[in-house]
Copies of this chain bind each other. A is one copy, B any other.
Amino acid sequence: MPSSTILSTAELRRPVVAAAAVRRFAVGGYHGTTVADVANEAKISPAYVFKLFPGKDALFVAALESCFDQVLEALRAGADRADDNGPEAVLDAMGGAYADLIADRSLLLLQVHAQSAAGEPVIAEALRDGLARVVTFASERSGASGEQVQRFIAFGQLCHLIAITGLDETPEPWARLLAQGIRHP
């Protein structure tokens, strides 16, 4: 199947394959997704994925890095949109921007799968790196106290749990209790 389109170089291909990996790994997780799945999503052959990335783990790490890039960008944009410059107002604006970002669930699911796959040392390291970027940026940009930032992250994790288990659509009292005040995940 020859094509008349200009071929992209490997450097340009890598990020689009990483984006395809985000979507696919978000669905199946690390062990539940095959490299062929990602290749199909990116419309290239499985073999070429192994030329762009040395192995499956590196592919997942690239996806996770892309995920945290988008999270950081959302937090930055959200903070810029805050009308008040107080720590709480900035953190609140960040939380809202994050809630909007994960509306499609891919970035959220990938983070959950990454926690599950953290037995792989390179994945645990990528997870720590991303978390470090989020915590550091949230702290410095908002000027909030340690307790406030800690609470910000804790409720982010709760938000993940609510989305994964579908608690926002569970009418029982205990579920309403957990989801109360959490921005429409």
Residues of A within 8 A of B (CB): 27-32, 112-113, 115-119, 124, 127-128, 131-132, 135-136, 139, 146-147, 149-151, 153-155, 157-158, 160-161, 164-167, 170, 172, 174-175, 177-178, 180-181
A12 to B28, CA, bound (A): 34
Contact of A112 among B32, B116, B136 (CB under 8 A): B116
Chain B residue nearest to A180 in the complex (CB): B146
Contact of A28 among B119, B128, B147 (CB under 8 A): B119
Contact of A165 among B112, B113, B124, B146 (CB under 8 A): B124
Jot down 6 A-B pairs with beta carbons below 8 A, ordered by A: A29-B119, A116-B117, A128-B166, A135-B175, A139-B177, A153-B158
Contact of A178 among B115, B116, B150, B166 (CB under 8 A): B150
Given known A158-B157, A170-B128, contact A178–B119 (CB-CB < 8 A) = no
Number of copies: 2
Given contacts A124-B166, A146-B180, 10 further A-B contacts (CB under 8 A): A29-B116, A112-B116, A115-B116, A118-B165, A128-B175, A132-B174, A135-B175, A150-B178, A151-B151, A153-B178
A124 to B112, CA, bound (A): 14
- Assess the A165–B135 pair: CB atoms within 8 A: no
- Assess the B117–A29 pair: CB atoms within 8 A: yes
Which has the most chain B C-beta neighbours within 10 Å: A27, A155, A172? A155
Question: Chain B contacts of A177 at CB under 8 A?
Answer: 135, 139, 146, 149-150
A170 to B146, CA, bound (A): 16
Question: Chain B contacts of A149 at CB under 8 A?
Answer: 177-178
Chain B's nearest CB lies how many Å from the CB of A142?
Answer: 13
